[in-house]
Structure 1
Amino acid sequence: MQEDFLHYVWQHQYFDKASLCTEQGEPIVVLKPGFRNADAGPDFLGARLMIGEVEWNGAVEIHLRASDWYRHQHQTDRKYDQVILHVVHVADQPVRRTNGSEVPALTLQPRLVPSLLYAYEALMAADNPQLLPCAGALSTVPEVTRLMMVERVLLERVEQKAAAVQEVHERSGHDWETTAWQVLAAGFGFKKNSEPLTRLAQALTLAVLRRHRHEARPTEALLFGQAGLLPAAAEAPDAYCAELRREYDFLAHKYNLTSSAMAAHEWNFLRLRPANFPTVRLAQLAALVHAQPRLFQPLLDAPDVPTLERMLLAPVGKYWQRHYRPGVAAAAPVPALGRSSAHLLIINAVVPLRVAHALSLGNREGVEAAVELLTQLPRERNSVLAPYEALRFQHRSAADSQGLLALQRGYCQPRRCLQCAIGSRILQRNVPPSAS
């Protein structure tokens, strides 16, 4: 059993309350169990209890064993002086506050509902990684409960991504244009090269790139040169690479970029298809910056997915249509950035950027409009989502995909069934009326 189960039982009062009394023999009436405390300190705050003849207002602390009070050093922490009841599974010893006064204790072990405990243990014991912990009982959960939970975790996932964007915004001096550049650049790295592209975007500002927006070659020279992916001019394998290197050397000196230049070994090529090489992504990013020197407002104002696709799918220069790497010619034309990649950029960069901006203004309608973009995108396909499809979860668009991924990673995989509306609904069916 985990302590979270006792939190769940106390929060919902799912236990036998007949002749409820403390270990010291005083009767207890729970007027208000309190609310979960997400910060440091006791587990539940704002509780109201009648203990004996006295009404108490304060906190409730919960442990599997009463001795955990001392193991966690609560006896020396004044935040725990407000505890009016110590709820435990096993009362193996009395505990005291910092002033030496004893904390009343309630033992839940003999009061737990056997059917509820059995259902909880069944969820925790599920060990097949291809199945949801609740797969065997999912048919008892109404469809509306599933839909509401997926919608809830979708918003959690989107706002978590937006929080990362807000951190970039703070580091950039609250400049949304710089934020958009860095977030979008990281997105072009996809999984393998997101981190080095983030560092490149920090070292090479959009303001510098915009000064040369009228020509594609200086933009390519700055990006490839600052990335450390251009050979020296004397070693260039072809004339175009030599031109890019000479252009970069001039601009790097002009803008004092040399000290922050990256090295070729910092980029990941291993186990990537040539179409996903970081050099190909840099060429695509250069094409976007050349075609769209201002990023933030167009990304913010785009009314729909087709508009964003047209912006993100800027055609690369002629050289990069035939080269995967500088000086390495391809046997066939290099595939352009595909719609599926553009969709990933919308999911992982554009939507979080728009949500972060809306939240900074307190604009919930803006958040909803950003999330609405996900419903315009096709659903994703991968092995993580397959079990949910097999169990008939709604999966029609990328909004559903992102919600299901959030459900799997935030709740199903770590077995946070007690915090999940689906798991909670399954457990509730095992609580008799007398214990609710």
Structure 2
Amino acid sequence: MKEDFLHYIWQHQYFDKTALATAEGDLLQVLHTGFYNTDAGPDFKEALLKIGEVEWSGSVEIHLKASDWFRHQHQSDPKYDQVVLHVVWEADKAVHRIDDESVVPVLELRSRVKPELLQTYQQLQLAKSTIPCAAFWPNVPGITKTIMLERTLAERLEQKGKEVLQVYRSYGNDWEQATYNTLLKGFGFKINQQAFDQLAKALPQTVVRRHHQSLLQVEALLFGQAGFLEEAEDAYVKQLQKEHAFLSHKYGLQSNVVERHQWNFLRMRPANFPTVRLAQLAAVLHQHQALFTKLVEAKDVKTYEALFMVPVSVYWQQHYLPGKETKAVQKALGKSSAQNLVINVAVPLMAAYANFSGERAYLEKAVWLLEQLKEASNKYTRQYEELGWQAKTAADNQAALSLYKKYCQPVNCLRCAIGNKVMKQNGLAA
């Protein structure tokens, strides 16, 4: 058992209150459980209790054993003097406040919780399936799953928006810089995401912006700072080398080149090589200025796709690597890849701007956009499909991904509406 089980029991008051009393023998009445605290300090704040004939307002601290108070060093922390009730599974030791050495009242729960509730909790915690509630999933009402998936989608958009806002603020409140960093990370398509993130730091957006009118110079900056201009010797690459040498010296970029070993080519189709992605990125940066505004204000899916599906330069239509010609022609980013960028670039930017501006319409637009797009299932979302749930849109996929990473993977069932339903159906109804 972990403390989260007792947090859950206390928050929902899922214990027998018959002749409820503290371990010291005083009658106890819970008037308000308090608000769950995720920051430092006691677990629940602003609780309202009646102990004996006196009403108390303060905090509630929760432990498996009362002696954990000392193991967590609360006896030397004045913040815990405000605790008016110590809720424990086992009351094995008395606890005193620092200021006046008075006893902190204790409520022991181990004889007041239904065995079936604890058993259900343990089944979820010890489940061998990667989806802890897999065995219970078919019996959970569809509306419960829908509500939880809507919640996890909102949580994912909030988190993605916060990440963009952090970049926005760390670069002097510049939306175009935040867009640039998010765009480069998006062009990494997971397997090269870290390398593209490094490239965003190695090549400032302000430098690219100054030279956006020349596709040759944009390519020189990107390929040079990515470390791809050192080997090939054909005429075009020599031009890129010459431009990069000049520009990197002008802007002091020489020491920030990304190491070649940071780029992944293994088990990739040539069309997905990071060199091809760089060429496609160069085309987008050359074609579009004020990209943030375009990404936030576009009206339909086709417009969004078109922002990313820009034809690459003639050289990169016939090459996958510098100096290595191919008969295949790669004109622009494919539709599915463009939609991936809509999901991972445009949507987080809108979520961030909704947070920043306080205009919910941008968040609603982000959700609407996800609902218009399809997204391939992945190893995480396929686990829900195996249980009978099917993703119809990118919104469904993003919600399922968030459900897995935030709740299923860390076995955080007691904070999940689906897990709560399982607990009620199997632990309380028994």
TM-score band, normalised by shorter chain: over 0.9
How do residues 228-307 of structure 1 correspond to structure 2 at under 5 angstroms? 228-231=227-230, 236-307=232-303
1:146/1:393 contact within 8 Å kept: no
Matched, 1:337 2:333: yes
Q: Determine helix, strand or coil for the equivalent of 2:136.
A: helix
Q: Distance in 1 between matches of 2:263 and 2:138?
A: 47
Q: Indicate which of 364, 367, 371 corresponds to 1:368.
A: 364
Aligned AA (1:24): E
2:373/2:394 contact within 8 Å kept: yes
Q: Distance in 1 between matches of 2:162 and 2:321?
A: 35
* Deviation of 1:134 (Å): 1.5
* Deviation of 1:396 (Å): 0.9
1:76/1:97 contact within 8 Å kept: no
Matched, 1:389 2:385: yes
Matched, 1:163 2:162: yes
Q: Distance in 2 between matches of 1:203 and 1:182?
A: 11
Gaps of 5+ in 2: none
Q: Distance in 2 between matches of 1:264 and 1:61?
A: 52
Q: Determine helix, strand or coil for the equivalent of 1:429.
A: helix
How do residues 60-139 of structure 1 correspond to structure 2 at under 5 angstroms? 60-99=60-99, 100-129=101-130, 132-139=131-138
1:275/1:335 contact within 8 Å kept: no
2:340/2:375 contact within 8 Å kept: no
Q: Determine helix, strand or coil for the equivalent of 1:62.
A: strand
Q: Determine helix, strand or coil for the equivalent of 1:106.
A: strand
Q: Determine helix, strand or coil for the equivalent of 2:18.
A: coil
Q: Distance in 2 between matches of 1:335 and 1:272?
A: 18
* Deviation of 1:162 (Å): 1.2
Aligned to 1:33: 33
TM-score by length of 1: 0.94
* Deviation of 1:236 (Å): 4.3
Larger mean CA deviation between 337-346 and 350-359 belongs to: 337-346
Q: Distance in 1 between matches of 2:244 and 2:7?
A: 61
2:153/2:398 contact within 8 Å kept: yes
* Deviation of 1:272 (Å): 2.9
Superposed CA offset, 1:76-117 (max 9, x none): 111110111111101111111113211111110011112212
Q: Distance in 2 between matches of 1:213 and 1:119?
A: 60
Q: Distance in 2 between matches of 1:185 and 1:24?
A: 62
* Deviation of 1:333 (Å): 2.6
1:186/1:194 contact within 8 Å kept: yes
Superposed CA offset, 1:356-375 (max 9, x none): 11110111221111121110
* Deviation of 1:430 (Å): 4.2
Larger mean CA deviation between 60-69 and 134-143 belongs to: 134-143
Superposed CA offset, 1:116-142 (max 9, x none): 12221221221123xx22222223322
Q: Distance in 2 between matches of 1:221 and 1:77?
A: 58
* Deviation of 1:331 (Å): 4.2
Superposed CA offset, 1:411-432 (max 9, x none): 1121111000011012123465
Matched, 1:355 2:351: yes
Aligned to 2:51: 51
Aligned to 2:177: 178
Aligned to 2:192: 193
Q: Determine helix, strand or coil for the equivalent of 1:110.
A: coil
2:120/2:427 contact within 8 Å kept: no
Larger mean CA deviation between 344-353 and 78-87 belongs to: 344-353
Shift in alpha-carbon separation, 1:286–1:320, aligned structure 2, 3 A: same
TM-score by length of 2: 0.95
* Deviation of 1:252 (Å): 2.3
Q: Distance in 2 between matches of 1:297 and 1:377?
A: 21
Shift in alpha-carbon separation, 1:341–1:432, aligned structure 2, 3 A: closer
Gaps of 5+ in 1: none
Aligned AA (1:402): Q
